[in-house]
Amino acid sequence: MTTLYRPELLYVDGTFVAGGELLVSADGLVLECGDKVDRAGVAVVEMPGKALMPGFVNAHSHSFQRLIRGKAESRVASGRDFWSWRGTMYHAASKLDPHQVYDVARMAFLEMVLAGTTTVGEFHYLHNAPDGRAYDDPNLLGKQVIRAASSVGIRIVLLRTAYIRAGFELAPDAGQMRFYESRKAFVENMAALVKDAFVGGGRVHFGVAPHSVRAVPLGELREIAAWARANRLPVHMHVAEQVAENAACVREYGSTPVDLLAAEKILGPDFTAVHGVHVTAEEIAMLARAEATVCSCPTTERNLGDGFVRADEMLAVGIRLALGSDSQAQIDPLEDARELEYHLRLSQQKRAILDHVGGQTLATNLFDSATVNGARALAISAGKLAPGEFADFITVDLGDLSIAGNSAEDLLSTLVFSMSRSAIRDVVVGGQFILRDQRHEYREEIVDRYKELHEAVWRDAAARR
């Protein structure tokens, strides 16, 4: 049935308006959004004391990495750099059976929903059985992740990942046996998965994710990118997260990853460079010219000691910034959004650095990175409330401790810099409530199953030490 939502404040075209209304069709699309909505014969949902706004879009997630939370914060367990941290992550990846892949994905997605996320872009590279052989259905684990998203109710863009080798002049790595596929197998499996889009009631979408220039050699990368474009799927890739990755690319190809991707015309409006931390001003200009998105994962980038994205220089030349929770060290879209600004403040010893850069206010720049820019990167009609878009939205309690004492004029800044997840009341995906007054149907079951899985995975690890 067509439904009319009547919150106290509604986010429309970049501002909160009092008395705004949102009309949603029976099939979960926005019909009208504003203050003069035709309301004949519709169900009305009154939402006093709440503000309604687009749900957050998490453009880069590895759901299984939720398992290493708290396990990689000591030098003894996980070393001191990204590459030793990766060993802990590979350990978790090596253990999981298909049921456990489902359980950990549900846990990560549940937490995302409770944090106001309505879409996740899942960069999925766990394909094979632990011994490195393909399952009878080579898409078994990808389908488990999709099933997990469908069970939780979150919209998913499965960014199926091509992972072909350990790196330039490197022998295959025992920790990566579950990731490897040939270029041919990748394309066949990806095509089969898209064709089999069997679950999800219209909430399942796809993209193509060559892991990195390290893991996908150029010849294969060209073919995979061409295949993605022929099939109108977005392309996501880890780019310039680590200095060592850039250096290896220079050794192999004589140019840095961004330079190489630009020269090969792999950059484009459908391309998202995940991280984009170690880039020069010239490379920022290349990304801008190509109209590529940069997806920053600020919580992960600071957790791993990667460095931070130069958001000021990127916004100034029109690059759209999206956000991802990546390693799941913490799942909080607005925390990621504010880090874009805070990292710059600490390094430049100034304030309000992203205010009116690229023509928008600071709060709008940060909010867009958590919503509409992620949706664009994932090629879905979401992240804003306008006719024809998915009705993916959240409500927040205007009396919550973290934001109480707000006005329509300052609410966006208050949310972006101060809101905690306790304020999030409802989460709606495709017109359906998946969180209603902070209750999720499967919360207890998901957490209980996750606790069992966590104990099993780390009990085995302890026994081996």
Q: How far apart are CA 465 and CA 457, in angstroms?
A: 13
Which is closer to Zn ion, CB of 124 or CB of 454?
Answer: 124
3-state per-residue secondary structure call for the chain: CCEEEEEEEEEECCEEEECCEEEECCCCEEEEEECCCCCCCCEEEEEEEEEEEECEEEEEECHHHHHHCCCCCCHHHHCCCHHHHHHHHHHHHHHCCHHHHHHHHHHHHHHHHHCCEEEEEEEECCCCCCCCCCCCCCCHHHHHHHHHHHHHCCEEEEEEEECCCCCCCCCCCHHHCCCCCCHHHHHHHHHHHHHCCCCCCCCEEEEEEECCCCCCCHHHHHHHHHHHHHCCCCEEEEECCCHHHHHHHHHHHCCCHHHHHHHCCCCCCCEEEEECCCCCHHHHHHHHHCCCEEEECHHHHHHCCCCCCCHHHHHHCCCEEEECCECCCCCCHHHHHHHHHHHHHHHHCCCCCCCCECCECHHHHHHHHHCHHHHHHCCCCCCCCCCCCECCEEEEECCCCCCCCCCCCCHHHHHHHHCCHHHEEEEEECCEEEEECCECCCHHHHHHHHHHHHHHHHHHHHHHC
Question: Least distance from C-beta 326 to Zn ion, angstroms?
Answer: 5
Torsion over CA of 353, 354, 360 and 366, rounded to 10 degrees? -140
Question: Least distance from C-beta 149 to Zn ion, angstroms?
Answer: 17
Which is closer to Zn ion, CB of 326 or CB of 332?
Answer: 326
Q: Which residue number places its CB atom closest to Zn ion? A: 326
Residue 172 token pair: 């295959």
Question: Least distance from C-beta 65 to Zn ion, angstroms?
Answer: 8
Judged by CB under 5 A, the chain residues 311 through 330 that form the site for Zn ion are 326
Which is closer to Zn ion, CB of 3 or CB of 161?
Answer: 161
Is residue 238 annotated as part of the catalytic site, yes or no?
no
Q: What is the per-residue binding string for Zn ion in 340-369, x denoting contact by CB under 5 A?
A: ------------------------------
Number of residues that bind Zn ion (CB under 5 A): 1
Q: Select which of 275, 278, 343, 440 is catalytic.
A: 275
Question: Least distance from C-beta 39 to Zn ion, angstroms?
Answer: 45
Which is closer to Zn ion, CB of 20 or CB of 167?
Answer: 167
Question: Least distance from C-beta 24 to Zn ion, angstroms?
Answer: 33
Is residue 326 annotated as part of the catalytic site, yes or no?
yes
* 354: nearest Cα among 320, 319, 312: 312
Question: Least distance from C-beta 211 to Zn ion, angstroms?
Answer: 9
Which is closer to Zn ion, CB of 239 or CB of 411?
Answer: 239
Which is closer to Zn ion, CB of 60 or CB of 147?
Answer: 60
Q: How far apart are CA 87 and CA 73, in angstroms?
A: 13
Which is closer to Zn ion, CB of 297 or CB of 385?
Answer: 297
Q: Select which of 103, 259, 270, 326 is catalytic.
A: 326
Which is closer to Zn ion, CB of 66 or CB of 440?
Answer: 66
Question: Least distance from C-beta 287 to Zn ion, angstroms?
Answer: 18
Question: Least distance from C-beta 323 to Zn ion, angstroms?
Answer: 12
Q: How far apart are CA 175 and CA 230, in angstroms?
A: 33
- What residues make contact with Zn ion under the rule CB under 5 A? 326
**Could you give the residue numbers annotated as active site?**
275, 326
